[in-house]
């Protein structure tokens, strides 16, 4: 079976993992490939090539976009704040 997996593009899907989402995506793609499925992982350029990665962007393009638009960083910082 042909399966496409779309990963978060900010962090690569390779060890060491940035978090649980990257680890879960890596394990899913690897397990499906081991079962004989044709898996294409759409992820960042630094992801594990053994997973059948099709690069959709590299991390530097995301960083440049954040630096050009400081509100991107400010809005992400505000979402973790708890008001009280």
CA 68 to each of CA 15, 27, 58, 59, 71: distance values in angstroms, whole numbers, following the listed order: 29, 34, 16, 14, 9
> For the chain, what is the largest distance between any 2 Cα atoms, rounded to a whole number of angstroms?
52
For residue 36, the model assigns a pLDDT of 95
For 3-56, what is each residue's pLDDT tens digit? 999 988 778 888 888 888 899 999 999 999 999 999 999 988 888 888 888 888
- The answer to whether the CB of 20 falls within 8 A of the CB of 13 is no
Q: Indicate the pTM of the whole model.
A: 0.64
Residue 68 confidence (pLDDT) above 80: no
């Amino acid at each position: 079976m042909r399966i496409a997996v779309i990963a978060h593009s900010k962090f690569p899907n390779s060890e060491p993992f940035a978090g649980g989402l990257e680890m879960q995506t890596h394990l899913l793609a690897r397990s499906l490939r081991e079962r004989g499925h044709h898996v294409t992982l759409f992820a960042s350029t630094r992801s594990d090539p053994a997973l059948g990665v099709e690069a959709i962007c590299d991390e530097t393009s995301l960083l440049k976009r954040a630096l050009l638009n400081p509100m991107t960083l400010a809005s992400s910082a505000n979402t973790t704040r708890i008001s009280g």
